[in-house]
């Protein structure tokens, strides 16, 4: 038998083709990976420890920087946790406003995924197109909240400000543009593109058993045929009052992970349109004191973030700060599958597979 | 869910005690930490994955909250286990629930809890040679940490 030389390839933490500061250690024989290890922690900022020294109302900026691609989802998750722990009811208008903001952020996050996925397999045009569409929504978020990447829009009991006047029409205009582009224009760039199909179809197959073994949730699990979306399973916010489908694919390969996320954009557009139609007038927040004390209890809240099921385990002890705040991040579980998934594939495909996981290291390392 | 709690009551009798939970959140306290593996095997019949593992520092006692969930419905089960600071180890359940692997590594990294039988108990978020376990309430930022560079050289 011919002896093959084995090379150890360190990719990352700072590498143009790697997502954020993920580090992969690949043992390579010729062009095939024989062993893969992941290394995390390069963006560890100890968000959980910071929570223990801040008032409940002062933790929102940290949640923004957790998953910086979907900051509003993180804010809503934290706000829901604190409100559940403190038994705060938020007004009906605030519920609808939060649903709209969560779905706008989900579209933005998935557009970033489409863009960076295109970039990773050499499709720079896709990257620029996706960011062009994202910019339209960024402007909407900026008009609503004043911020773009880290909006700081949620607060305990609701939102800081109401929607500005006439924003519904602008959102609807932007949504119809995005719907048109995603469902028609992107197919030429991605799903009807022969190069894209041959780079993604049948690559990096995650079976149902692997999903259950590693505890993967979210779009990655749905791409492998697991029909589970917390927006349907345990409806929170206004998700039980709107109609939408949960896109599921069966193959579990890189291509279906792309397709599931693309379809989710169209479903989110549907949700936002229904919410804008049904949004009731009234107050947009329940006024609660800035510093509040929450009695001793454990609260566990989980919500569907664009990357999967994000959860917070909050332990309070009657003081004005959390006693312990644990963040359950979905990509932390998904990245463990890479050690099995990357074996016996080509190095060039490894980048497509990592990109299809859509990791945001801020949320993995916390 | 009801079947499971009945079954657990019959199986473990005095070693477990239910705590009144919130909607859809069942909390059970396990009194003997040596039984965690046996309990996990029972839970495995109903739950698919370890959803998250939260360690809470009530020094000298540390409370481990195992959150289990499954893919079929919205049920969540929380198992609370107390371990003492003097006897700072517990059996790993990563051979029963594979998703526990990195969660246990994280608990070891941030709190220093030893998980017996874990296949690969290394630090995960912090560097290998980091001094101390920062999520403990007793952790203080001292000169050793302030001057830590991660390199074996003096500047």
The two beta strands, A324-328 and A308-316, are antiparallel
**SS3 category, A24:** strand
Q: Do the beta carbons of residue A96 and residue A279 sit within 8 Å?
A: yes
Q: How far is B11 from chain A (nearest CA, A)?
A: 26
Q: Do the beta carbons of residue B77 and residue B26 sit within 8 Å?
A: yes
Which residue, A187, A245, A247, A189, is CA-closest to A219? A247
* Nearest by CB: B134 against A46, A226, A315: A46
* Residues from chain B contacting residue A215 (CB–CB below 8 Å): 48-51, 97-99
Largest CA distance in chain A: 77
b/e burial code for range A274-304 (CB count within 10 A of at least 16 → b): bbbeebeeeebbeebeeebebeeebbbbbbb
Residue B127, number of CB atoms within 10 A of its CB = 12
What is the domain count for chain A? Answer: 1
The chain A residue lying nearest B96, using CA atoms, is: A213
Which residue, A146, A148, A136, is CA-closest to A175? A136
Cis omega (within 30 of 0) for bond into A13? yes
Mutation test of the interface with chain A: which of B52, B100, B119, B138, choosing the one with the most A Cβ atoms within 10 A?
A: B52
Average pLDDT, chain B: 81
pLDDT tens digits, B67-91: 888 888 888 888 888 888 888 888 8
pLDDT tens digits, B86-142: 888 888 888 888 888 888 888 898 888 888 888 888 888 888 888 888 888 888 888
Tell me the CATH number at A164: 1.10.645.10
pTM comes to: 0.90
Cα dist. B133→B111, B115, B130 in Å?
5, 15, 8
pLDDT, position A2: 65
Residue A242 lies inside a defined structural domain of this protein: yes
Q: How far is A236 from chain B (nearest CA, A)?
A: 12
The answer on pLDDT for B23 being more than 60 is no
Those of residues 34-73 in A touching chain B at CB distance below 8 A are 40-41, 44, 46, 48-49
* Residues from chain B contacting residue A53 (CB–CB below 8 Å): none
Residue A92 lies inside a defined structural domain of this protein: yes
Return left, alpha or beta for A152; rule: phi > 0 is left, psi -120 to 50 is alpha, else beta. left
Say whether B57 and A324 touch across the interface (CB within 8 A).
yes
Question: Does the structure's ipTM exceed the value 0.95?
Answer: no
* Residues from chain A contacting residue B94 (CB–CB below 8 Å): none
Say whether B125 and A311 touch across the interface (CB within 8 A).
no
pLDDT, position A107: 92
* Nearest by CB: A313 against B54, B98, B135: B54
pLDDT, position A23: 87
Residue A1 lies inside a defined structural domain of this protein: no
Beta-strand ranges (E) seen in A241-321 are 297-305, 308-316
Residue A177 lies inside a defined structural domain of this protein: yes
| Spatial distance between the Cα atoms of A280 and A90, rounded to a whole number of angstroms | 13
Q: Do the beta carbons of residue A197 and residue A253 sit within 8 Å?
A: no
Domain assignment of residue A23, given as a range: 6-365
Largest CA distance in chain B: 63
Cα dist. A301→A72, A230, B25, B57, B106 in Å?
16, 11, 10, 21, 20
For residue B21, name the pLDDT band (cuts at 50, 70, 90).
Answer: low
Spell out the domains of chain B, with CATH numbers in brackets.
2-144 (3.30.460.80)
pLDDT, position B24: 57
A351 touches B at CB < 8 Å: no
Residue A122 lies inside a defined structural domain of this protein: yes
Q: How far is A329 from chain B (nearest CA, A)?
A: 9
pLDDT, position A346: 87
| Spatial distance between the Cα atoms of B81 and B99, rounded to a whole number of angstroms | 19
pLDDT digit string (tens) for chain A, length 366 residues: 567 788 888 887 887 777 778 888 888 888 888 888 888 888 888 888 888 888 988 898 888 888 888 899 999 999 999 998 888 888 999 999 999 999 999 999 999 998 888 888 888 888 898 888 889 989 999 989 888 888 888 888 888 888 888 888 999 999 999 998 888 888 888 888 888 888 888 888 888 888 888 888 889 989 888 888 888 888 888 888 888 888 998 888 889 988 898 899 999 998 999 988 888 888 888 888 888 888 888 888 889 889 888 989 988 888 888 998 998 888 888 888 888 888 888 888 888 888 888 888 888 888
Residue B114, number of CB atoms within 10 A of its CB = 15
Q: Tell me the HSE value of B48 on the side-chain side, using a 13 A CA sphere.
A: 17
Say whether A333 and B57 touch across the interface (CB within 8 A).
no
């Amino acid at each position: 038998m011919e002896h093959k030389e084995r090379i150890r390839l360190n990719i990352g933490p700072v590498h143009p083709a790697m997502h954020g500061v993920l580090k992969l250690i690949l043992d390579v024989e010729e062009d095939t990976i024989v062993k893969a290890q992941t290394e995390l922690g390069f963006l560890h900022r100890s968000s959980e420890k910071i929570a223990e020294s801040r008032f409940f109302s002062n933790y929102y900026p940290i949640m923004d920087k957790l998953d910086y691609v979907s900051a509003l989802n993180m804010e809503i998750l934290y706000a829901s946790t604190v409100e559940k722990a403190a038994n705060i009811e938020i007004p009906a208008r605030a519920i609808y406003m939060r649903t709209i903001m969560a779905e706008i952020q989900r579209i933005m996050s998935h557009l970033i995924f489409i863009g960076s996925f295109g970039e990773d397999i050499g499709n720079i045009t896709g990257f620029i197109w996706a960011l062009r569409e994202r910019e339209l929504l960024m402007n909407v978020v900026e008009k609503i909240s004043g911020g773009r990447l880290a909006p700081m829009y949620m607060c305990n009991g609701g939102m800081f400000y109401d929607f500005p006047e006439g924003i519904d029409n602008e959102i609807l205009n932007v949504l119809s543009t995005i719907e048109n582009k995603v469902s028609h224009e992107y197919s030429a760039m991605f799903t009807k593109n022969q190069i894209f199909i041959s780079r993604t179809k049948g690559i990096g197959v995650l079976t149902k058993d692997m999903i259950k073994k590693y505890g993967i949730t979210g779009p990655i699990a749905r791409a492998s045929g697991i029909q589970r979306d917390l927006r349907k399973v345990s409806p929170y916010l206004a998700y039980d009052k709107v109609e939408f489908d949960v896109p599921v694919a069966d193959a579990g390969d890189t291509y279906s992970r792309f397709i599931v996320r693309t379809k989710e954009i169209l479903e989110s557009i549907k949700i936002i349109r229904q919410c804008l139609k049904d949004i009731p007038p009234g107050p947009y927040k329940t006024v609660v004191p800035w510093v509040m004390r929450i009695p001793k209890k454990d609260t566990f809240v989980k919500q569907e973030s664009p990357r999967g099921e994000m959860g917070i385990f909050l332990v309070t002890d009657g003081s004005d700060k959390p006693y312990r705040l644990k963040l359950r991040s979905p990509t932390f579980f998904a990245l463990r599958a890479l050690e099995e998934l990357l074996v016996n594939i080509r190095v060039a495909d490894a980048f497509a597979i990592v990109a299809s996981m859509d990791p945001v290291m801020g949320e993995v390392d916390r | 869910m009801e079947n499971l709690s009945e079954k657990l009551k019959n199986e473990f009798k005095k070693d477990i005690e239910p705590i009144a939970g919130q909607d859809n959140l069942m909390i059970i306290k396990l009194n003997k930490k040596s039984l965690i593996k046996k309990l996990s095997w029972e839970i495995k019949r109903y739950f698919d994955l370890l959803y998250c593992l939260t360690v809470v520092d009530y020094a000298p006692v540390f409370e481990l909250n195992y959150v289990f969930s499954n893919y079929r419905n919205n049920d969540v089960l929380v198992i609370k286990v107390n371990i003492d600071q003097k006897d700072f180890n517990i059996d790993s359940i990563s051979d029963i629930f594979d998703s526990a692997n990195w969660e246990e590594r994280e608990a070891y990294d941030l709190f220093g809890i030893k998980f017996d039988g874990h296949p690969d108990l290394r630090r995960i978020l912090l560097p290998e040679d980091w001094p101390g376990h920062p999520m403990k309430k007793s952790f203080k930022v001292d000169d050793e940490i302030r001057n830590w560079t991660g390199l074996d050289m003096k500047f």
